[in-house]
Amino acid sequence: MPTGRIPEGPGCHQPVIELSDVSFAYERRPIIEHLHFTVRERDFALLAGPNGAGKTTLLKLIVGLLEPDGGEVRLFGEPARRFRQRERIGYVPQKNAFNPLFPATVREVVLSGMYGRHKLFRRLTKADYQKVDDAMQALGIEDLAGKRIGMLSGGQQQRVFLARALVNSPALLILDEPTVGIDAETQDSFYHLIRHMHQHHNITFLMVSHDRERFRSYLDDAPAAEAGRLKFYVRHSHDREDCVETDLTHSLREYRRAAEEPALVR
């Protein structure tokens, strides 16, 4: 993963997700009306709301899979529907998003993080495979590389999907209900890792969750925006001066060593 400095100061607080006056209806039932919201570089945004409030719909609008009925959605300054640099987005799906009997190894799953638009019909390079190895090592799943994904525990699977999302060193990391169905202890260590990544790297986070309580201490009390029963909470980054990007895999390895985190991989 690349090491480097990006411009300091306001240069690292550019808008990543911009919703201006966004409205969307599903089968004539308005789900989102006139929503304004901006997530800037290095912000940590939580999209919270009960099931059926439209979290998935909004997520699809944000990543450009749906077109709003009114208003505009922008990603990294470009209209979301036309945004092409898809490798800048890392995506961790809901736990139940895949068939547990699917015959894929951990390595094949992490590798699939490379299979986006920027590699369409192209061969992967040696450097790509190296990034996959690095990501697996950084998250401590290298010993599981040859195991079938369905045989792993929920916490282990979560790490595999996180590794997959990180292989392209994304600028925006989207986590869709990442810990549903995972025990509390494993959830704690997962969020600890997420916070570490947020505090030490130039990654903007968008987390979708029905559980706001868990983030109460980390986020502003008042929602930054609301749409029906959907609420956006943010931890803004403008108080932070440092815009220096450190090597993600190196830092995650250091983190694992320092935290002596509970062995997820036995």
| Residues of the shown chain interacting with other proteins in the complex, contacts defined by CB under 8 A | 63, 65, 84, 86-87, 89, 91, 93, 97-99, 101-105, 107-109, 112, 114-121, 124, 146, 148, 164, 174
Q: How far apart are CA 186 and CA 207, in angstroms?
A: 17
Rounded least distance, CB 146 to other proteins, Å = 7
Rounded least distance, CB 243 to other proteins, Å = 26
The SS3 call for residue 237 is coil
Rounded least distance, CB 110 to other proteins, Å = 12
| C-beta closer to other proteins: residue 7 or 103 | 103
| C-beta closer to other proteins: residue 12 or 73 | 73
| C-beta closer to other proteins: residue 124 or 259 | 124
CA–CA distance from 261 to each of 122, 185, 189, 239 (Å)?
A: 38, 11, 7, 29
Two tokens, residue 61: 């609008």
Two tokens, residue 81: 């529907």
| C-beta closer to other proteins: residue 136 or 243 | 136
| C-beta closer to other proteins: residue 119 or 229 | 119
Helices (H) and strands (E) in the chain, counts: 6, 12
Rounded least distance, CB 73 to other proteins, Å = 14
The enclosing H or E element of 24 equals strand 15-26
Rounded least distance, CB 66 to other proteins, Å = 10
Specify the residue for token string 């590794």. Answer: 163
At position 174, the amino acid (one-letter code) is I
Largest CA distance in the chain: 53
Rounded least distance, CB 33 to other proteins, Å = 25
Q: How far apart are CA 222 and CA 232, in angstroms?
A: 9
The SS3 call for residue 169 is coil
| C-beta closer to other proteins: residue 107 or 235 | 107
**Contacts with 54 (C-beta within 8 Å, 6 or more apart), sequence order:** 24, 26, 31, 32, 227, 228, 229, 230
Rounded least distance, CB 126 to other proteins, Å = 16
CB atoms within 10 A of CB 17: 21
| C-beta closer to other proteins: residue 65 or 259 | 65
Two tokens, residue 179: 């810990």
